[in-house]
């Protein structure tokens, strides 16, 4: 089981900021911005490039959830970023797809 599966199963404690039938959202333990949340699907999907067509609705739900959380935290006015890392060279450290929600500071482009 991945770290995220263990958090979802409540084997590892975490402050869950959002939960619904498809996903949870928690604070990142190594934040890269003042607000840095992880939106994690309950169904284990290794990464975007390994997802199936049957998982399209889950992938869309993760992005929609990021927007809803940003609105609740009043981050939608100043801006926020949603990021999905795919593979080790992209910074993927846990083989369980998740969306990073970053906000609270100016986020430059390109990220690097």
Around Cβ 110, how many Cβ atoms within 10 Å? 4
Q: With cut-offs at 50, 70 and 90, classify the pLDDT of residue 112.
A: low
pTM for the complete prediction?
0.95
Residues forming the active site: 98
**45-57: pLDDT as tens digits:** 999 999 999 999 9
Residue 16: phi and psi, rounded to 5, are: -85, 115
**65-87: pLDDT as tens digits:** 999 999 999 999 999 999 999 99
DSSP, residue by residue, the chain: --HHHHHHTTSS---EEEE-SSEEEEE-SS-SSSEEEEEEESS----GGG--GGGHHHHHHHHHHHHHHHHHTT-TTT-EEEE---SGGGT--SSS--EEEEESS---SS--
Q: With cut-offs at 50, 70 and 90, classify the pLDDT of residue 43.
A: very high
Instruction: Report how far residue 107's alpha carbon sits from residue 90's, in angstroms, rounded to the nearest whole number.
Output: 17
* Domains of the chain as residue ranges with CATH: 3-103 (3.30.428.10)
């Amino acid at each position: 089981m991945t770290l995220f599966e263990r958090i979802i199963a409540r084997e590892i404690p975490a402050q869950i900021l959002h939960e619904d039938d498809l996903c949870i959202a928690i604070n990142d333990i190594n934040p890269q911005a003042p607000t840095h949340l992880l939106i994690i699907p309950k169904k284990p999907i290794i990464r975007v490039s390994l997802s199936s067509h049957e998982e399209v609705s889950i992938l869309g739900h993760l992005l929609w959830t990021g927007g809803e959380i940003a609105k609740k935290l009043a981050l939608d006015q100043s801006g926020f970023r949603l990021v999905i890392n795919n593979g080790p060279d992209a910074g993927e450290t846990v083989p369980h797809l998740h969306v990073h929600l970053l906000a609270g500071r100016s986020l430059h482009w390109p990220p690097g």
